[in-house]
Each structure stands twice: as structure tokens, then as C-alpha cells.
């Protein structure tokens, strides 16, 4: 079992509170009548989740930095009045003393520089999944001197067996460097179960975890990768870092993030990878960029020195890297 340090206690409870709150927002604001263009529930959930985690961090570790996705500029605009009121209402369920000034302060706390010791947060990872009533996650990680030391995922639509369920009790995952990856219930935390990646050695039987969202990846080359390796297993499609949870619990073997031809200079944001990457590694898996380089969290708010992502159960990693090179998915610059 991992050591329940003050950092672990904070990260588990803050992520849990934020994930439960996003689930409430989804239940109350996202409904079948919502138009595809209406992203207001995403705005509310993003800001409310970030405020809740930032408020908890301010109490637990007032001198620690927070590097998070959102800033308050959009929410301060006149046309955002309705969203602003909803954010305050939902945050008030967790932080009853919330005032407008404290709300801004909590959200803006996420603009700290990504250096030294800091926490990085994706307050709502998987916005398309959130709007569909499908998979999304709250992802929080502690980074020290460029190395992820602690990662927590709150996944409202996974169950404690890491299976996608629309009415699940939710899953709460944690990894501490050198101490394994673990899972418990999001709604009713209890005993933690240790996670282990799949032992599959036949790459033709590898289950590839793919996103519904295709704007940040190269679908054509992923299909070429699958064809080159003659992968027979059906891919598993879901949004967010919940994919890392399935990979860590042996429900898949491979995950790819290729650079989209439309965005050749795109670099991953650190909050999109930090928590999930450590959970996978501590479950026995491996994660690198497409060139086989370790992910470098010491370069600011993006993985500036990395190109794309390959995550695996470890056993199949070398074969997958070679296949990516063969199908031309590895950047040459």
C-alpha cells in the first residue's frame, strides 16, 4: 500500500470533490435538448472544478504553485453573467463561504509558472465526452523538478473495476512514484485495489484505446499503424485520461496521440498527460513520445520537447515504436 502523506490526502480529496461536482453539473445542466453548439455546461464545470481544487490547495499547501487550464478572463466578461452565477452556485456547494473575489483568486491561482514544485490540473478532461454523457475526468498531479511524483484521476463514469458505466459509482485512481497505482470508488472510497497492466505479448491481439475526438491526432496514420501490425482486436473508444485508467488496469494495451496534419506544431499540455502517465507507469506500463523519449515535464506548460505520445503495457512498446516509424508517424524535425 502507498504511504498516505499529506500530499496524497489532499490530492485524493480535492480530486474527488471536483469530480463529484462535475458529475452534478453534468446531471443538472447537460440534457438531450442541449444543442451541439452550447458549451456553457463545459464552461461552468471547468471553472467550478478548478476553483474547488485551488481553494483546497490554498488551505493545504498555501505556498505551492498551481498550473491549470483555465483563467478567469472569459468568465469576467459581461456576456458570461449567467455562467458566472452558476459557477458560484456550484462552487458554493463545496465552499459555502465563496465570494466573487475569492472565486477569481482561486481560478487565477492556476496561472502560476510551471517550475520547481507545482501541481498541474485539468479540471475537466474530455469535454466532448462530458457533453455526450460519456467519459471525462478530473486530473491532478504533483510535479517536482520536472518529474511527476503523484497523480490522481477522478472518473465519474468508470466503476471500481475500471469499466465504463453510465450510472457508475465512479472511480478514483492514485499513483505515487515508486509505490504503485491504486483504485477505489469515487462516491464511497474504501479499500484500494492495486492496478496492473495487461500481460498481452501478441501485438495482433492488442486493444488500441482511441478517442472519439479526432482533431488532435492523425486518424489516417493510426489506421495505417493498425493495418501494418495486423491488429485484430476491436479498438476501445473513449474520451479523456480515463483511457489511462483502462490501460493501467489491463483493459487495453496501446494508446496513441499522433500529431494532426492540421496542427504539426501542436504540443501536449502537461495537465493532459501528467496524472495518467504516472498511473500507467506505476501499474507497470510505459509511456514515451513517438521517438521513444521520456515525457519531459520540465519545459513549462507544454511537453515542448516531445512529439506525440505512445503509451503501452510495456511489453509491446518497442514493436509499436518500430511500427510508428515504418508508417511515417514519427516526426523528423
Question: Is the CB of residue 128 less than 8 Å from the CB of residue 213?
Answer: yes
- Looking at the structure, tell me whether residues 114 and 18 fall in a common domain: yes
Res 215: pLDDT? 67
Is residue 180 domain-resident?
yes
- Annotated catalytic, 64? no
Res 331: pLDDT? 80
Q: What stretches in the chain show pLDDT beneath 70?
A: 31-38, 214-216, 333
Distance separating alpha carbons of residues 84 and 123, to the nearest angstrom = 16
Residue where a domain stops, chosen among 168, 194, 220: 194
The residue annotated as part of the active site, out of 15, 22, 46, 218, is 46
Is residue 1 domain-resident?
no
The residue annotated as part of the active site, out of 15, 22, 43, 127, is 127
User: What is the strand order of the sheet 208-210 is part of?
Assistant: 236-237, 208-210, 254-257, 309-312, 286-288
Res 265: pLDDT? 86
- Looking at the structure, tell me whether residues 180 and 293 fall in a common domain: no
- Looking at the structure, tell me whether residues 250 and 219 fall in a common domain: yes
Res 264: pLDDT? 83
Res 307: pLDDT? 94
Res 31: pLDDT? 61
Res 263: pLDDT? 85
* CATH number (domain holding residue 121): 3.30.540.10
Domain that holds residue 289: 203-326
Res 38: pLDDT? 60
- Looking at the structure, tell me whether residues 135 and 222 fall in a common domain: no
Res 111: pLDDT? 96
What is the domain count for the chain? 2
Within 10 Å of residue 261's Cβ, how many Cβ atoms? 11
- Annotated catalytic, 127? yes
Amino acid at each position: 500500500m502507498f504511504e498516505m502523506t499529506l500530499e496524497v490526502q489532499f490530492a485524493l480529496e480535492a480530486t474527488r470533490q471536483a469530480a463529484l461536482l462535475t458529475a452534478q453539473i453534468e446531471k443538472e445542466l447537460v440534457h438531450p435538448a442541449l444543442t451541439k453548439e452550447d458549451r456553457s455546461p463545459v464552461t461552468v464545470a471547468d471553472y467550478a472544478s478548478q476553483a474547488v481544487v485551488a481553494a483546497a490547495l490554498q488551505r493545504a499547501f498555501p505556498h505551492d504553485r498551481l498550473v491549470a487550464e483555465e483563467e478567469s478572463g472569459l468568465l469576467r466578461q459581461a456576456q458570461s453573467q449567467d455562467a458566472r452565477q452558476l459557477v458560484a452556485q456550484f462552487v458554493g456547494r463545496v465552499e459555502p463561504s465563496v465570494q466573487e473575489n475569492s472565486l477569481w483568486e482561486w481560478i487565477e491561482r492556476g496561472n502560476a509558472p510551471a517550475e520547481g514544485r507545482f501541481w498541474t490540473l485539468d479540471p475537466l478532461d474530455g469535454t466532448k465526452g462530458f457533453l455526450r454523457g460519456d467519459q471525462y475526468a478530473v486530473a491532478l498531479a504533483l510535479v517536482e523538478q520536472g518529474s511527476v511524483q503523484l497523480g490522481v484521476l477522478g472518473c465519474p463514469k468508470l466503476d471500481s473495476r475500471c469499466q465504463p458505466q453510465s450510472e457508475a459509482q465512479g472511480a478514483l485512481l492514485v499513483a505515487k512514484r515508486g509505490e504503485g497505482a491504486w483504485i477505489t470508488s469515487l462516491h464511497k472510497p474504501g479499500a484500494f485495489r492495486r492496478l496492473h497492466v495487461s500481460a498481452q505479448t501478441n501485438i495482433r491481439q492488442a486493444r488500441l484505446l482511441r478517442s472519439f475526438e479526432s482533431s488532435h491526432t492523425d486518424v489516417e496514420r493510426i489506421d495505417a499503424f493498425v493495418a501494418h501490425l495486423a491488429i485484430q482486436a476491436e479498438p476501445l473508444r473513449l474520451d479523456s485520461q480515463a483511457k489511462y485508467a483502462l490501460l493501467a488496469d489491463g483493459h487495453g494495451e496501446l494508446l496513441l496521440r499522433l500529431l494532426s496534419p492540421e496542427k504539426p506544431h501542436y504540443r501536449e499540455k502537461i495537465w493532459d498527460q501528467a496524472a495518467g502517465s504516472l498511473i500507467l507507469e506505476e501499474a507497470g506500463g510505459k509511456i514515451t513520445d513517438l521517438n521513444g523519449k521520456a515525457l519531459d515535464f520540465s519545459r513549462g506548460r507544454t511537453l515542448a520537447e516531445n512529439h506525440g505520445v505512445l503509451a503501452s503495457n510495456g511489453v509491446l512498446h518497442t514493436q509499436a515504436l518500430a511500427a510508428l516509424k515504418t508508417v511515417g508517424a514519427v516526426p523528423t524535425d
